[in-house]
Every structure is written in C-alpha cells, then in structure tokens.
Chain A
C-alpha cells in the first residue's frame, strides 16, 4: 500500500525526493498517507523458524559474512542478491534444490562456510529473482549506474532504544533467517533472540522513505 498523500505544489514531488537527500529536514508528507502493511502477513514463518531453531544456534555467529560481502552481491540495498557460487544448469528446472541448503542453513564443506538462510522459503522459483552468474574474468558492460548507500545500522530513536527496522518487510519478514545463526552477516547478527516476537520492540521504518510528521488539523 503506497502512501497516497498529496504533495505540495508542482515542484513538490521533485523537491520531496531531491531535497531529502541533502537536507533531510525539508521533507514533508501530508498526514493522510495509508500505511504500507501489505507485506505484514508473514509472521507465521518467523514464529515457526524461531520455535524450531535451537537457542545455541540462534546465538552463534561465525563471522563468515560481513556487510561488505553482503552488499557486494547486490545491485542496490534491497535487491535480490546474485548467486555467488556455480549452479548446475539443471538447477533452473529444479529450483527446490536451492532450499536443500538455504532453507535451514548449516555448514557447507564444499564452500567452507556457513550457508545463509532464506527469509522466504515458501518462494521456490529461486532463479526468478536470483541470477546464477557464471564465473567470468571480463567486466560487465560499462554502465553509469549509481547505487545509494545502504541504511546505517543502529539508528535508534533514543539512546539505547531498539533501532527501527530500516528495510522494507517485503520478502524479508522473517527476522530470524538473516539476523541469527552462524551465517548471519556479522554486523547485523543479534544476540538476543530470546523472546522471538521481534517486532514487539523493533518498529519498521524504511530508511529510504521520507519521515512523516504528524500534524493535527
């Protein structure tokens, strides 16, 4: 559900987008915007995974992945990562094979690393979004693409308050998958999965979206 707020003046939309980058305080969104809750229905996956993941596994971190290597696989923050390892051709017709490793994670002797867990195992046609790139020595065609910087971490509203969830929940509602376990990216691995109801404390607030201000009419 996208905000349906009216922006002010002809320049409004442009200004809203543009000024926000440099001068964060200038953004305005009218109060009538509806909430983006359409991707707010996958709690069951999270709760199940929380319940079935042993405590010690939740708390383990291998440090095998970090944010640099994480973003290196993505065209921009939030894009589906490319597949960083060789994939046999046949895999494209038997996508469920990805889940053999990526549904539950664990250690891969072949790659000598822990396997990242997918936050959306119910989607089985993996290669629809994740591109298996063949190993190549030549560069991709030149392109003047510019990415945005990834969201900063730990941006709490108050000193010590739980930081909001900086990314959209679309396809990423299962916090346990990415933020716990030995394959979790070191910087975003959390050490307090004890109570499993993550959004009891962490509010979704997408960092790339303008911050709204409540003004009573």
Chain B
C-alpha cells in the first residue's frame, strides 16, 4: 500500500468503467488465488538505482526521553531501515514501535521543504534566504518599536543541544532578553524544581542500570508499558529472570502497565501528595528510618503553603524555605495516617502500609519511576519532593537499584533544556539572577559585561499570555507544536492570531502551529543534520548528518546562526557549515568544566553510542552522590549530596492541597490527558508513519463502562466533553487499552482533529510553572 494522498483522487474519480475493470481484475485474482487481500508492502516505491547495500550509522531515537541507541540503515541518500544498537547500554539492541519505524517520518508526503511567508493573507513560497532576511528584519523592527522583551523564542526538548545553545546565546546573550522558553516547561519543569529543591542539582542520581538491581519497582502515575516501553520490558525481563522482583503500579487509571504489574493500586487524582506523606508516616511509625543515613545526609525543611494555581495573568510566587527539626517534620506528618489518607485518596490503608513496607524493608532495593503524572501536576514540585522524602528516609538512593528515577518525555529535554538552560531563568550554567553565572556566560560568549539581563521574564504559559496581551510581539517557535499542546488552547491560539503579532515557525510538517505562522521555515529533521540529544539518565548522544536535508530544509541551529549574523553578531556566530556542531559543542562544554557536570569531548561523543556525564578523567558517572562512583564526592563518606549548601539532601514537609479545579455537581468528571505507545506528542510525525497511524488512527475518550452505560453510549459513539473552557466531540473507548475508574475520563492528546487542550485548564505548579494536564473538571454528553 502506499501513502500517497493523491490516491484519494484516483478512487474518487473511479467511474463505472474502471469499476468493471477493477472487478474483472478481482475475479482473475480470485481464480488465481495468488494475491490475498490486505496490505502489500511490496507496493512501496522502490529506490531507483539502489545497490541493495545498506550502511548502518548510529543515532539516538528521535522520540521519547529514554534515548534508545538506533542504527539507521542508509541506502544512497535515503534512510531505509532501523535496528536497535546492540552497543547502546540504554536499549541493548531493542527498540519500540516508534523507533523501529521512525525513519518513515522523514518521508511524509507533505514535508515542508521550502520557506513560506504570509503575503496578503496567503502563504507564498520564497527562497529560504529571503525568509531569513524577513525574520531578522522583523526582530530588529520589533525591538525598535516595543523593546527587547517583545521578542521571544520558544523551543523544545526536541531541539538538539546545539539548537538550544545558539538560541540561548542569541536571545539571552546578544539580544539581552530572557524570553527563551521551551516546551519542556510543559513536560519536566517540576522534575527540575523537584531536583533543585531536594538536591540543589538537576537530573537523576541513578541510571537505567538500576533496573537490573532493584527488587521493587513502584511506578507513580506512569504508564511505562506504553510511554517508556524499552525500560518497561527491561523491568519485565528482570522480574522473569530474578524472581525476587515485583512491580507496583500506582496510578489514577488502569493501563497496560497495571495489567503487567504484580499489584495495581488506584488513587484519586491529586491525592498522591497525601499517599506519599502517609508512606513516610508509616516508615517513621514502624521505625524503618535508616537513621545512620538520615543523620549524616539529610536535613528537614518546609516552604509556603496555599500557594495558588497561577490561573491569573502575571501570577507571581516565590517559595520561602524554613528549616525544620525531625520532630517538627514528624508532627507535620500526623495529618497523614494511612487511615485518614484512605478517605481522601481512595487507597486502602492496607495498600498504603504495603507500599510503605516495601520502601521500608531493608532487604529490598526500591526504584520509583515517574514522568508526566507527577510533573504535570499543580503541585508538581511538591510531589517530586515527597517521593524523594520516602527514598531519603530509608536511605534508598544513589546505590545500584535504589533510585528515585524521574523519566523524561522528550529526547533532549535533559540535554537541551535542562543542561543548556533554555528556560527564562536559566543559563548554560546556573541562573540569570546569579552574577557569577552571567559573568561566565558573557566571558564564554565574548559579550560585554551586563549584556545578560538579570531578571527572568516569562515562563511558557505566561509567554503565551504575554503574546495574547501584546507584551510579546514576535515569537519564533522551533520543533514544537504549541497550538495543539497549550492548555486552555483557545485563548492562546486567538492570542497568536491577533493583529500585530509575528509568528515564525520552524518545522517539518504542517501543523496547527504553522497554520498561525507568518513565516514558516523548513527544518532539517533529526538525522538530516548533525547534533546531540541528552536523555533521562544524563547520557549525551551524538548523531551525524546521515541523510541530506530535503529541499531547502536547514537545521534549526543554522537558521538561528543565519539570523544572528543578519543582526550583526558575526563575532558570536563565526562557525563554518562544515564543522559548526563540533565547534559549538566544545564552546558549550566550557560551561560545565567541573567534576559535577563535565561533558565528554566531541571526539568521544562521535565514537560512542552515548556518554554519561559527569564525564571525569575519561570515565562516566553512573551513580551520583556516591563516592564509590562519583568523583565529585568528598572521599571518606558513604554519600555526599554536594548540591546543597549544607551538603545534605533535603526532606520537605509538603502538604496535600487540592487541584485547581475538581469535579462538582455540574462538571462531574475528572479529565486526564496523556498518550498511547504508537503516537508521540502531537502526532505530527507518527501520524505520517503508516503502520502507527493504522494501529491508532484516531484519538478517543476512555470512559468507565458504567459511566458509558449511564450516558447511553457504546464503543465508538461520539461523546461531547465539555469544560468551562470549551468542548470537543470524540469517539468513546470503553474497556479499551486503558480503563479509568468511574467519574474519570482519559483522552490521548496526539490527534489535532480532536483538540482536547481546548478543554483543559492552564493551572500550573507555582514553583515550576508547569501546567497540570492531568486534572480538570468536565461534563459529558452523548453527541
């Protein structure tokens, strides 16, 4: 079968004569019995003049944050096959459905291969150099008229490290605006603030090898069977091989991961905060505390409470830390006895005690995994802190198999957003508010002192609010699709469409975001350019340009360089096209020149499937804060949490607080949004991969069978989901892959034909500013 949309026209134009011919062909076929009905992959167009030989080249996968090592099969100038890289310790030769078919996403029929500019309300093709002229001129004009903080760049955890680095250098350094954000704000900002508040340094202490050592896996709101399948199957095979392994799925709905787990425990949305505290309560009540570890390595703290939800424009929040004694912390936990929490959370006291006993059993190594369930949470920072609390109380951290493990959703959310610091408050090293960090950046970037603004501007939600208000007039969006992913989407789409806004979008396919663009720049995709991604376990992975970019497509890095030079920053962007990635990497590496964060040299990255940082004296660091593995630790101690000033990890007293919006009499359902294994994010790539599109060709709303019966809908019938923001009508899925409890519905957000984010709420964690996509109130109608 082929994927050419023009085939439609063929069918539509079939007249009666063709039909008869067709029927004749059919009977001939039936008689011969030689062709079966079904997909004939033999119908793919064959590469002309191909030798039949395949060259294999390494690249990290384009999709999730697991960061599987792939080998890309190349024939001529085209990618034709994929296999798992057996040399990659991440996936050991295995991929998932998305990875195996990833290269097909390069060849969708509607790839953007030329630049387009809006003229008289219509998008017209122009040479890319002309489009870049327009972008540069518009930046200059906007700054002249509205000031430097009226221009912004909004990137992505799918940016390569050089992409994000040059974006930060141009906007924060040269232009002096902190209007640099990335969609990773929507996906792991709470993980960052969780790490920063608990440990003072970002990113996990452990690595995927923990999976081969742990006896207990507890997944917190994390459907790994679909979202991190390669790590999940590694868990399963460990359970099968070692026998002393169990998996506990702690979630708000029943998923494929629940089916595989030894125990599935469901909690009511938002009450994970209370359950985590109840687990700590039980650990202390039973004296399972690892006192030796706690006395040497932990200090206790509290912050502000009733911290709000960020629903109003210009919302501000700064947390205030106060030290606590252990006794005060213990008193704080008194509100969280399992019996009390049972009423709130719907989790039986028995199950809470069971989980606490697993964490508390000194003979068991415990790894906790989480991702969006804990991060896309109006108290995302808190729930991250609370799970660290559990691990810290029992001292199960920074040793093989004992690991609180925050997974990421994008291939370079860690590498490009967290490490390069493409968020408004951050720099490649440290924060804009910190004079030494600014001085270091100005020195490396060869900029005069004072070039970098010490004041952060807008986090992502506020950035799009500023665009709506008119405080931001120009925004350049790269490698992301906010017109599908922003919560409370209608406001931000209307804002982007307003007069006097100039939207530049660099992308590879038309999306609802290119629909609102004034300039569309064709981007080189993934292996059409050289770059690096950084995955969830601090692993940096390099890939070269394996196939040439299509048409006039240009790497996002080079687009920014071209614009920077047009703005007069040749000195800061001097590189040649032949070796700019290597040069940029070596410049960037200077920011992390210390044993806590040293990155591998370019030459090493090119040789290996991936290298973990800190990379010190030619060695990767697998477990941080443990002197046995981490050279940054002081010798002579069991652990050294060197990120915080007191050289300890911090336990935080964080209470339960409700979500911004909970179901009531009128809007009586929880709405949860998420993903399926076949599709990635907004589907702009995976929907164009035939096998993935056919497996799940449409989004749907999962409804509990009893709720569906009350509503009078059967599988596939249309349901209208209505919130105070908007509504969407989509097919019901009853007893499908996932089953929510009564009173909850779940919608995968990949399908731009059903914009569920017109329904969601833009509440966010006041500390991380990451929106809560998992909780808002809706009502349902049969459509």
Chain A residues packing against B (C-beta within 8 Å): 1-4, 8-9, 11-12, 14-16, 18-28, 31-35, 37-38, 40-44, 47, 50-51, 55, 146, 148-152, 155-162, 164, 166, 194-197, 199-205, 207-209, 211-217
Contact = CB atoms under 8 A, between A and B. Distances in A.
B19 A215 contact: no
Given A11-B14, A19-B22, A164-B691, A208 B37 contact: yes
Nearest to B261: A47
10 smallest CB-CB distances across A and B, nearest first, come from A207-B38, A195-B233, A149-B36, A22-B25, A34-B731, A43-B259, A197-B233, A37-B736, A200-B229, A1-B716
B693 A214 contact: yes
Given A28-B11, A203-B691, A205-B691, A44 B39 contact: no
Contact of B101 (A18, A21, A158, A208): A158
A22 B36 CA distance: 8
B55 to A, nearest CB: 13
B1 A25 contact: yes
Contacts of B697: 3, 31, 33-35, 212, 214
B116 interface: no
B33 interface: yes
Contacts of A205: 39, 691, 694-695
B281 to A, nearest CB: 32
Contacts of A23: 22, 25
B691 to A, nearest CB: 5
Contact of A22 (B29, B80, B103, B716): B29
A200 B232 contact: yes
B243 to A, nearest CB: 10
Contacts of A2: 716
Given A51-B239, A51-B240, A205-B39, A161 B81 contact: yes
A123 B703 CA distance: 25
Contacts of A200: 94, 96-97, 225, 229-230, 232-233, 677
Nearest to B243: A51
A25 B692 contact: no
8 contacts: A1-B736, A24-B43, A25-B7, A35-B698, A159-B80, A164-B695, A196-B233, A197-B225
B129 interface: no
A213 B14 CA distance: 18
Given A34-B698, A151-B36, A161 B225 contact: no
B497 interface: no
B715 interface: yes
A44 B239 CA distance: 15
Question: Most chain-A CB neighbours within 10 Å: which of B14, B233, B716, B734?
Answer: B716
Interface of A is mostly: loop
B521 to A, nearest CB: 19
Given A40-B737, A195-B94, A207-B39, 8 more contacts: A26-B14, A41-B739, A44-B260, A204-B695, A207-B37, A207-B38, A212-B694, A213-B5
Contact of A203 (B29, B239, B695): B695
Contacts of B39: 24, 155, 205, 207, 211
B295 interface: no
Interface of B: 1-5, 7-8, 10-12, 14, 16, 19, 22-23, 25-26, 28-30, 33, 35-41, 43, 54, 73, 80-83, 94-97, 100-101, 103-104, 110, 225, 229-230, 232-234, 236-237, 239-240, 256, 259-260, 509-510, 677-678, 687-688, 690-698, 700, 715-716, 731, 733-737, 739, 752-753
A158 B80 contact: yes
B38 A151 contact: yes
B184 to A, nearest CB: 25
Contacts of B509: 216
B11 A27 contact: yes
A1 to B, nearest CB: 4
A15 B43 contact: no
B100 A9 contact: no
Contacts of A11: 14, 16, 19
A35 B700 contact: yes
A160 B22 contact: no
B356 to A, nearest CB: 25
A197 B43 contact: no
A170 to B, nearest CB: 13
Contact of A9 (B12, B43, B81): B12
Contact of B735 (A41, A146, A157): A41
Contact of B103 (A18, A33, A158, A216): A158
A35 B737 CA distance: 11
A146 B23 CA distance: 17
B233 A15 contact: no
B26 A19 contact: yes
Nearest to A194: B237
B40 A4 contact: no
A211 B240 contact: no
A44 B254 CA distance: 11
A150 B33 CA distance: 11
Contacts of B37: 20-21, 148-149, 207-208
Contacts of B43: 24-25
B691 A43 contact: no
B48 to A, nearest CB: 16
A166 to B, nearest CB: 7
A215 B8 contact: yes
A12 B141 CA distance: 54
B714 to A, nearest CB: 9
